[in-house]
């Protein structure tokens, strides 16, 4: 592989993973908003009730008490809840990038054969060995489908503007998206999954060489289990569902 290829392939791998994690984080935003709204409503009810009891005990006038209660309820308004949900999604996405995308970007394959690595997965499994390839696969599927869908939309608009033929634009965009999908799957997606396994194997081998206790080695990768895997599942199940997205890519009306 040329020097330019050695530079571009890791960048492409990182981009696919990052786009897939971003798709899942978009759904985290929605669920975070629901949770924040529910928590805010509960806190408003409890706070309003507590303030009402307090002002009644202090014999505060009803108009003044009502003004304080309304002020408390409006303290966390719609914009603040939106900001908190977006901030939560951003933090989750950045942590997922740190846990999965960046390690895969910087990892280089070691001398151990794939047979040895698969043997260790079965003989001495860890959370990282089991979940890293799964998380990489799910994130790459979401990333590839998102990229192809966006390119299809852009090309469809461009061809339709130039030709004025919607059917031609739809056909050209679908063919182009299919070519990009096959190219990325063949060149990048397999590398991502195998790279994730290789990275997890290197971490496991390092833990064994350092004499870490078995229970600590087995729990290596708990961050993927509680953060990255749920985000990637949200990506492929809700943000970029596989079958509907493929139908949108290839079905020409």
Q: Note the pLDDT tens digit of each residue in 232-247.
A: 999 888 878 877 887 8
Cβ pair 237, 229 in contact under 8 A? no
148 and 55 in a single domain? The answer is no
d(CA 45, CA 26): 29
Sorting pLDDT into bands at 50, 70 and 90, what band is 33? very high
Highest mean pLDDT among 26-40, 55-69, 192-206: 26-40
Q: What is the pLDDT of residue 112?
A: 64
CA distance 177 to 140: 16
| CA 71 remoteness from chain centre | 37
Statement to judge: residues 96 and 199 lie in one domain: no
Cα angle, residue 155 at apex, residues 150 and 159 outer, rounded to 5° = 155
Which residue, 172, 147, 148, is CA-closest to 158?
A: 172
For residue 219, give the 3-state DSSP assignment: coil
**Are residues 143 and 237 in contact, defined by beta-carbon separation less than 8 angstroms?**
no
End-to-end CA distance of the chain: 41
102 and 128 both lie in a single domain: no
Considering the domain architecture, whether residues 164 and 245 belong to the same structural domain is answered as: yes
Question: In the predicted model, is pLDDT for residue 34 greater than 80?
Answer: yes
Boundary residue ending a domain (60, 83, 106)? 106
Cα separation of 83 and 117, whole Å?
44
- pLDDT value at position 73? 75
Residue 116 DSSP SS3: helix
Question: Which pLDDT belongs to residue 116?
Answer: 67
pLDDT digits (tens, 9 = 90+) for 139-172: 988 998 898 888 888 888 898 888 888 888 888 8
Q: Which of 196, 203, 235 is nearest to 217 (CA)?
A: 203
> Is residue 13 included in any domain, yes or no?
no
Mean pLDDT of 169-188: 84
133 and 163, same domain (yes or no): yes
Does the residue 15 lie in any domain?
no
8 falls within a domain: no
In this predicted structure, the answer to whether residue 5 has a pLDDT above a threshold of 60 is no
In a domain, 169, yes or no: yes
51 is in which domain, residue-wise? 21-106
- Of the pLDDT bands very low, low, confident and very high (cuts 50, 70, 90), residue 126 is confident
80 in the same domain as 140: no
pLDDT at site 89: 92
SS3 helix, strand, coil % of the chain, rounded to 5? 85, 0, 15
Least confident of 41-50, 58-67, 86-95: 58-67
The mean per-residue pLDDT over the stretch 59-70 comes to 72
Q: Could you tell me the two tokens for 97? A: 């990038």
The structure tokens 């509680």 sit at 226
Residues 147 and 231 in one domain: yes
Residue 68 or 81, more confident: 81
**130 shares a domain with 78:** no
What is the pLDDT at residue 91?
93
CA distance 85 to 68: 26
pLDDT band at 110 (very low <50, low <70, confident <90, very high): low
């Amino acid at each position: 592989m040329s020097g330019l290829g050695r530079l571009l392939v890791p960048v492409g791998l990182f981009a696919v993973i990052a786009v897939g994690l971003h798709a899942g984080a978009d759904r985290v935003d929605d669920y975070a908003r629901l949770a924040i709204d529910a928590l805010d409503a509960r806190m408003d009810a409890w706070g309003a009730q507590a303030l009402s009891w307090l002002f009644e005990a202090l014999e505060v006038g009803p108009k003044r008490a009502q003004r304080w209660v309304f002020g408390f309820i409006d303290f966390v308004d719609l914009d603040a809840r939106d900001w908190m949900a977006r901030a939560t999604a951003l933090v989750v996405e950045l942590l997922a990038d740190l846990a999965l995308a960046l390690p895969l970007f910087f990892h280089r394959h070691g001398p151990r054969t794939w047979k040895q690595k698969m043997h260790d997965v079965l003989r001495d499994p860890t959370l990282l060995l089991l979940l890293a390839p799964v998380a990489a696969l799910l994130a790459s599927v979401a990333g590839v489908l998102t990229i192809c869908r966006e390119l299809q939309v852009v090309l469809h608009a461009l061809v339709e503007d130039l030709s004025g033929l919607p059917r031609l634009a739809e056909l050209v965009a679908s063919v182009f998206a299919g070519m990009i999908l096959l190219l990325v799957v063949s060149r990048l997606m397999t590398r991502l999954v195998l790279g994730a396994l290789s990275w997890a194997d290197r971490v496991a081998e390092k833990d064994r060489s350092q004499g870490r206790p078995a229970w600590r080695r087995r729990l290596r990768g708990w961050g993927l289990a509680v953060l990255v895997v749920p985000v990637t599942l949200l990506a492929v199940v809700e943000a970029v569902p596989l079958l509907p997205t493929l139908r949108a890519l290839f079905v020409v009306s």
